[in-house]
Structure 1
């Protein structure tokens, strides 16, 4: 059984799997194709990724892959916590350019589902944070893209309190959304 909590952008949701505990600890199905299908969440997960970030304020994003390697992501935290962010980059979408965030943590035992057509990123809120996520398409360097994390037109509040984040060279050099060639479109017929 899954608890599914919609966020401000309707396609992005928080998922909280059930935990079954006793004096030894707990057990949980963090992913079950059957349970996800029953909840109306269909994705063909093909790869698992894990990242480790030593410092608070390590920012990874905003990333996406172009079709045919566009990725949906199911993100959870094994240790520590992150502020996870999704930005709608589907041209014609009523929420184009808007963002939503969710604190995802080992303590909360929650996950976030970020569909294809959204740029994704996160910043660590605790030291030694480990993030684990499923993706619906394999990594393809030729289709990998980034949008500038600090794009003022998007205006994400990364909760950095004036600190500079720790970034990769790729993320520091990313272009703003307005300078990005977009390949995702909003399909109104699918929403009807």
Structure 2
């Protein structure tokens, strides 16, 4: 197989050699550290909401203002902060190796608190979806989605042009066909 090397888009890497294909998608530690303080952005909003709740005349309740304040100063900030905190703590880096020699696909998902390694028969791997810029004009890059036998999907979006995505789809198909 021909080696195309580093495609380098947003921390993603795809490489092929005689033994198969390797794909890596990294979630760097510096991004986790940068986002962590933003998880506490909700605190001033919640304190403002609690302070405002004490000054409300509960005998003549302004219903729409209370609903707006509850969503705007309590629910939305808590959801936003929870989403960022989940991403920081549980956002996973992905390593996928398609080894045509051993006829297996190895998927490794790493986060701060867990490291899952799953092995699949390579012949059972599917190219689930190929989304090209030409087919979807709103996309800024091509995306190839692979589906593992247990339903786990891996999105590969490190392609700058549709031709690169088509090339790698052919390489992945060759690797899968060699295992069949």
TM-score (norm 2): 0.27
Structure (1/2) with the larger helix percentage: 2
TM-score (norm 1): 0.26
Structure (1/2) with the larger strand percentage: 1
